[in-house]
Amino acid sequence: MDFGTIAGLVLGLALISMAIMLGGDFGMFINAPSLLITIGGTIAAMFIKHKMNEVFGAVGVMMKAFIVKQQNPEQVIGQLIDMANIARKDGILALERVKSDDAFLQGAVNHCVDGADPEFLEEILSKELDYLAARHGQGIALWTGAGETAPAFGMIGTLIGLVQMLANMDDPSAIGPGMAVALLTTLYGSIIANLICIPIAIKLEGYSKEEQLTRQVIIDGMIGIQKGVNPRMLQEALKAALPPRLREMD
């Protein structure tokens, strides 16, 4: 669970709500046409930009910014060094008894046990990493696009409201509703983009980079094991992926 995402979203909404309530009636900031233009227009644009199944899966992608199973690179390196010691002592086939909850790592181990040479191992694991990055990129692009589109539809709503207001200047009762649509759609678009869509996209991109880094460590480690690199030397090489403060490992 990523409590930072939850805390940021709650804090942002709370601050906006507080500013509204301190300055007037909260109800005046609720406008159905404005919400329809901004949210509906953003969703419509998402369907145009992306495949239908990708749009329907957008909520699932977003949830990864709230609920994520983070991998610990230090633990992964530790597992790889343990396997390097086993392979050095008992041979590559001894890794057959190694079991991991990480499907990528387990797959790499299986390839080694099956006799894959280092070149083939690197090629197939690198392809899996590329495919992972591509899948993640689709979800990130979806939310980045939504963040770019929401303010645009906010501006469209503003123009609609201004047209309605100017067309009814002779009717004072129509000026207020038209102005409300004009201003609130811009507000809604800004909130949706800058508090939800863009931050979610950035958080997903960060998690994607972390996962790709961990998988690259696995690739480098398994190739080193396959080549018979000394476990101590392999550990020093893999530690380069860690921040300096975490490189002091036993």
Q: Say whether both 11 and 92 belong to one domain.
A: no
pLDDT score, position 248: 65
Q: Which string of b and e fits 167-197 if b means at least 16 CB within 10 Å?
A: eeeeeeeeeeebebbbbbbbbbbebbbebbb
How far is CA 138 from each of CA 6, 131, 195, 209, rounded to the nearest angstrom?
Answer: 23, 11, 20, 14
Q: Say whether both 163 and 88 belong to one domain.
A: yes
pLDDT in tens, 86-108: 999 999 899 988 888 889 999 99
Q: Comparing C-alpha atoms, which of 102, 104, 113 is closest to residue 133?
A: 104
pLDDT score, position 247: 67
Q: Say whether both 220 and 249 belong to one domain.
A: yes
Q: Say whether both 72 and 179 belong to one domain.
A: yes
pLDDT score, position 41: 95
Q: Say whether both 14 and 114 belong to one domain.
A: no
**C-alpha 2, offset from chain centre:** 12
- Taking a C-beta distance cutoff of 8 angstroms, is the pair 34, 164 a contact? no
Q: What is the C-alpha separation between 162 and 192, in angstroms, rounded?
A: 22
pLDDT score, position 207: 92
Query: Domain range for residue 26?
Result: 1-30
Q: Say whether both 78 and 200 belong to one domain.
A: yes
Q: Say whether both 131 and 159 belong to one domain.
A: yes
How far is CA 230 from each of CA 98, 224, 234, rounded to the nearest angstrom?
Answer: 19, 8, 6
Q: Say whether both 98 and 179 belong to one domain.
A: yes
The H or E element that residue 82 is part of is helix 73-90
pLDDT score, position 246: 67
Tally of domains in the chain = 2
Q: Say whether both 21 and 134 belong to one domain.
A: no
Q: What is the C-alpha separation between 186 and 150, in angstroms, rounded?
A: 9
Q: Say whether both 83 and 161 belong to one domain.
A: yes
Q: What is the C-alpha separation between 114 and 160, in angstroms, rounded?
A: 65
pLDDT score, position 182: 80
pLDDT tens-place values along the chain, 250 residues long: 778 889 999 999 999 988 888 877 788 888 888 899 999 999 999 999 999 999 999 888 888 888 877 778 888 999 999 999 999 999 989 998 888 888 999 999 999 988 888 899 999 999 999 999 999 999 999 999 999 999 999 999 888 888 878 877 777 776 777 777 788 899 999 999 999 999 999 999 999 999 999 999 999 999 999 998 999 999 999 998 888 776 665 4
Q: Say whether both 3 and 93 belong to one domain.
A: no
pLDDT score, position 116: 85
Other C-beta atoms lying within 10 Å of the C-beta of residue 211: 19
Q: Say whether both 20 and 112 belong to one domain.
A: no
